[in-house]
Amino acid sequence: MIVENGQKRRLTVPELLFYLILSIILNSFANGLAVASNLGSAVWTSSAVNLHSILPGSLGTILFVYAIIVQLVNLLIRQHLDVRAVSANLLFAFLFSYLVQFWTHILVILTIPHFNIIIRLLLNILSICGISIATSIYQRLDVMLHPNDEFSYLIRFKFVHGSAAWAQCLSYLIPVAIIIICLFKTHRLLAVNIGTFFALFFQGSIIGWADLHVFSKLKHRLFLKAKTPTSSH
């Protein structure tokens, strides 16, 4: 929904496509940048990278299978099957998964992993901010969500009274557990570094900030229904 001059209206098709395409490209590029900068990826991506070290298949395939499993968890939370929503979310996950692999490949070719550590750190922090902003945009659209982000979205509005920060922290319990299991199995950590901890502690807060300051006219439909616009804090 868009709110203009105190009035709410539905997005037009061009507006919807603009925000959706922008958020998918930004999210996948930022995740690819986080992986290429080699100073820690977003938590879900970090866990997928570690799974990639012990499972066959490409990173893109693992990310997509991961999304399917999380979608099943989301269905348990929702307690009803919406075929259109599930199909849209899995399409989103498919596009996202292989776009991350594509952007990672391109950025590695551009020698991002060999940049000065200070530059890579700045790029890494920017990548986490980009992921957070993209997540805020498509969560507000609520047309198609990556299952991982739908998971935090459901936690946010069903269990923690709209707090993006708490929802993000709670949703990370699964990928953190997987990272720990992989650590015990391989005795090494991949894609876990400063950026991962930055994401762990601050990504939810950045999403909440972006809700208010990035395309601020774009509102959560749940907020409009509940008439609780302050719940994004």
Q: Tell me, what's the pLDDT at 185?
A: 92
Q: Tell me, what's the pLDDT at 41?
A: 81
Q: Tell me, what's the pLDDT at 45?
A: 83
Say how far apart CA 158 and CA 31 lie, in whole Å. 27
DSSP codes, the chain:
-EEETTEEEPPPHHHHHHHHHHHHHHHHHHHHHHHHHTS---HHHHHHHHHHTTSSS-HHHHHHHHHHHHHHHHHHHHTS--HHHHHHHHHHHHHHHHHHHHHHHHHHHTTGGGS-HHHHHHHHHHHHHHHHHHHHHHHHH-SS--HHHHHHHHHHHHTSTT-HHHHHHHHTHHHHHHHHHHHHHHS--SS-SHHHHHHHHHHHHHHHHHHHHSSTTB--HHHHHHT-GGGG-
Partners of residue 9 on adjacent β-strands: 2
Find, among 38, 90, 95, 70, the residue nearest to 153 by Cα.
70
Extents of the domains making up the chain: 2-232
Is the backbone of residue 230 left (phi > 0), alpha (psi -120 to 50) or beta? alpha
Q: Tell me, what's the pLDDT at 222?
A: 59
User: How many angstroms separate the Cα of 186 from the Cα of each of 11, 172, 175, 183?
Assistant: 48, 21, 16, 5
Say how far apart CA 110 and CA 95 lie, in whole Å. 22
Q: What is the CA radius of gyration of the chain?
A: 17
Say how far apart CA 222 and CA 204 lie, in whole Å. 18
pLDDT in tens, the chain (233 residues): 788 777 888 889 999 999 999 999 999 999 999 989 989 888 888 898 899 889 888 888 888 888 899 999 999 998 888 898 899 999 988 888 889 889 999 999 999 999 999 999 999 999 999 999 999 998 899 888 889 888 988 998 889 988 888 888 899 899 999 999 999 999 988 888 898 899 888 988 999 999 999 999 998 875 444 444 433 43
Q: Tell me, what's the pLDDT at 23?
A: 94
